[in-house]
Amino acid sequence: MTAEPRIEAFDIVISGAGIGALTLANYLAPMGFRILILDRRPAFDPVHRGELVQPLGLSILDELSLLEDLKRTPHTLYKSFDFLDGRGRLLMRSSYDRGEAPYPYALAIEPHQMDHLLARNLSSHSHIVLRHESDFRDFSVDAAGVRATYERGGEVRQVLARILVGDDGRHSRVRELARIPGTLTPYKDSYLGASLLLPEDSSSLPPAIRESSGRYFLGPRSIFFFFSVSERRRFFLILLPERDRNKFFSNGVEAVLERLDRLVPGFAETAKENGLDNPEKFTELSVWKVDLERWCDDGVVLIGDAAHAMNPHVAQGRNQAMEDARVLAPIIARALLSGPLVRREALLPYERARIPVIRSLHRLADEMTRVWNSGNPLVVRAREAAFRGIGRTPSLQRKIVTTIGGSRILPLTPWDKIRALGAGL
Ligand SMILES: Cc1cc2nc3c(=O)[nH]c(=O)nc-3n(C[C@H](O)[C@H](O)[C@H](O)COP(=O)(O)OP(=O)(O)OC[C@H]3O[C@@H](n4cnc5c(N)ncnc54)[C@H](O)[C@@H]3O)c2cc1C
């Protein structure tokens, strides 16, 4: 066995093995660049939530020839989602085939399954190294390149690279050390989430649990999103107002389960069978917004949540991290041909292409948060009318579905909103 050298040389070092990093490495792999991906997690373990791969993400996977492989892993294919009110009455069915997206469906997956798939595809490239249990610590930049320091198994190691990519999430250390100006703001409300494993023989389960339709129940100051990621796995998210667990469970977990059971009959019993009669078993998922003035500097570039964490109401974070990678890959590849250090100037086309898209998604997500999370009776009535109106107006459906699909962001104009209200009242 040979000892590992103390300073290794790579073209690219990436802090964080999120979906952005894995997508970027998959795009760059055929070009032969030496890439080191560091992640502090010991493995790609389940993160206790399901996520939607929108048509944008599907088109990227298709470009990487990985879409068919993803379809062979556990998933649920959604052609539409239902939006219902707090009493379970249908407000709108949002169908992907009404939009301009490249695919008329989305896939609901468990994120770690998709991460495994992308990582497996890298394993045949010996010039790409993925190291878990590796905590990125520090970096410095000079004309010779980027010197990154990380810790693994109690040992401090160094890497010399030509660019450092920060895909280390919303609390990015790369961003902090690079002193990239901007704001990191928590949203006032968060979510509680958990997954339910159905029994192997599900024939005795109520249809509302068995069927895999995706249902968003929006009531006054309440949201319940219930969906499937495989034949036996269901996920749900519940709004946690003001992030106050004590208040949320003040009448006991039983009262919460009963309320949800009125919307999805059979939910309470299935939840209890999955240990959710204990409030501690509900995982809190906090939500942050990262809004930066710039995403790169000499030798450093940010992707994914590190650059633009957003509210999950738009169901886009994973998809936009993948799009960052698709846009950035050819820009990095060109820049690597021109010297030992990738300069900010060479990365500017990435910022110019991506920041405006993300700004409009942030605006949309903030507006959705104000309207969807509201308990104000007037806002709730207007929201319900707007959902009904959008459902009845094909041109507005097209805008909503295209935007959620991710390939083009088409927010509703003030006139669109008046039309939606008019059609829904
Ligand atoms: C409730 C909820 C629901 C969501 N639903 C959806 C959805 O339906 N569709 C969708 O597209 N998106 C969704 N998202 C958003 C999505 O999860 C994120 O946007 C996406 O995972 C971000 O990917 P990323 O590549 O930025 O990396 P991240 O997933 O943020 O990963 C960052 C990685 O960096 C590692 N790391 C951090 N610091 C260090 C360090 N110092 N050294 C080494 N490694 C480090 C971490 O271990 C982690 O593996 C949702 C988010 C939430 C909270």
405 lines ligand 1 (CB under 6 A): no
The whole-number average pLDDT for the span 155-174 is 98
Q: How far apart are CA 293 and CA 156, in angstroms?
A: 32
Measured in Å, residue 416 CA sits from the centre of ligand 1 at 33
- Whether 7-48+110-185+288-365 and 190-285 share one fold: the answer is no
Measured in Å, residue 182 CA sits from the centre of ligand 1 at 19
Domain 190-285 listed as CATH 3.30.9: yes
Measured in Å, residue 304 CA sits from the centre of ligand 1 at 8
Residue 2 has pLDDT above 60, yes or no: no
What is the pLDDT at residue 4? 53
The residue among 158, 157, 93, 112 whose CA lies nearest residue 390 is 93
- Residue keyed to tokens 């990095």: 332
Measured in Å, residue 388 CA sits from the centre of ligand 1 at 33
Between the alpha carbon of residue 71 and those of residues 4, 114, 167, 321, the distances in Å are: 38, 10, 25, 20
- Residue keyed to tokens 């009535």: 381
Compute the Cα dihedral for 174, 178, 180, 183 and give only its sign.
positive
312 lines ligand 1 (CB under 6 A): yes
78 lines ligand 1 (CB under 6 A): no
- Taking only the tens place, the pLDDT of each residue in 3-12 is 555 799 999 9
219 lines ligand 1 (CB under 6 A): no
Question: Considering the domain 7-48+110-185+288-365 in this protein, what is its CATH number?
Answer: 3.50.50.60
Residue 369 has pLDDT above 90, yes or no: yes
- Taking only the tens place, the pLDDT of each residue in 117-127 is 999 999 999 99
Q: Which residues of 130-149 are buried (b: 16+ CB within 10 A; e: fewer)?
A: beeebbbeebebeeebbbbe
Between the alpha carbon of residue 103 and those of residues 99, 231, 331, 411, the distances in Å are: 9, 22, 27, 20
Taking CA atoms only, the protein residue closest to ligand 1 atom 29 is: 18
What is the pLDDT at residue 270? 97
Measured in Å, residue 305 CA sits from the centre of ligand 1 at 6
- The neighbour count for residue 76, using CB atoms within 10 Å, is 21
What is the pLDDT at residue 3? 54
16 lines ligand 1 (CB under 6 A): yes
Residue 407 has pLDDT above 90, yes or no: no
| Domain residue limits, the chain | 7-48+110-185+288-365, 190-285, 374-424
41 lines ligand 1 (CB under 6 A): yes
Between the alpha carbon of residue 354 and those of residues 161, 294, 326, 358, the distances in Å are: 24, 10, 11, 6
What is the pLDDT at residue 133? 98
Measured in Å, residue 389 CA sits from the centre of ligand 1 at 34
Q: How far apart are CA 35 and CA 12, in angstroms?
A: 5
The whole-number average pLDDT for the span 324-344 is 96
Measured in Å, residue 385 CA sits from the centre of ligand 1 at 34
Q: How confident is the model at residue 248 (pLDDT cuts 50, 70, 90)?
A: very high
3-class DSSP state for residue 320?
A: helix
Q: How far apart are CA 357 and CA 32, in angstroms?
A: 30
3-class DSSP state for residue 37?
A: strand
Residue 280 has pLDDT above 60, yes or no: yes
- Taking only the tens place, the pLDDT of each residue in 35-93 is 999 999 999 998 878 999 999 999 999 999 999 999 999 999 999 999 999 999 999 99
Mutate to test the pocket of ligand 1, among 26, 36, 40 (most ligand atoms within 8 A of CB): 40
- Taking only the tens place, the pLDDT of each residue in 212-221 is 999 999 999 9
Measured in Å, residue 18 CA sits from the centre of ligand 1 at 6
What is the pLDDT at residue 365? 96
The residue among 173, 212, 163, 395 whose CA lies nearest residue 305 is 173
Taking CA atoms only, the protein residue closest to ligand 1 atom 50 is: 312
Q: How far apart are CA 94 and CA 29, in angstroms?
A: 37
User: What phi, psi does 10 have (nearest 5°)?
Assistant: -135, 165
Q: Are 101 and 402 a contacting pair, CB within 8 Å? A: yes
Q: How confident is the model at residue 204 (pLDDT cuts 50, 70, 90)?
A: very high
Residue 174 has pLDDT above 80, yes or no: yes
Compute the Cα dihedral for 269, 273, 277, 281 and give only its sign.
negative
Q: Are 135 and 151 a contacting pair, CB within 8 Å? A: yes
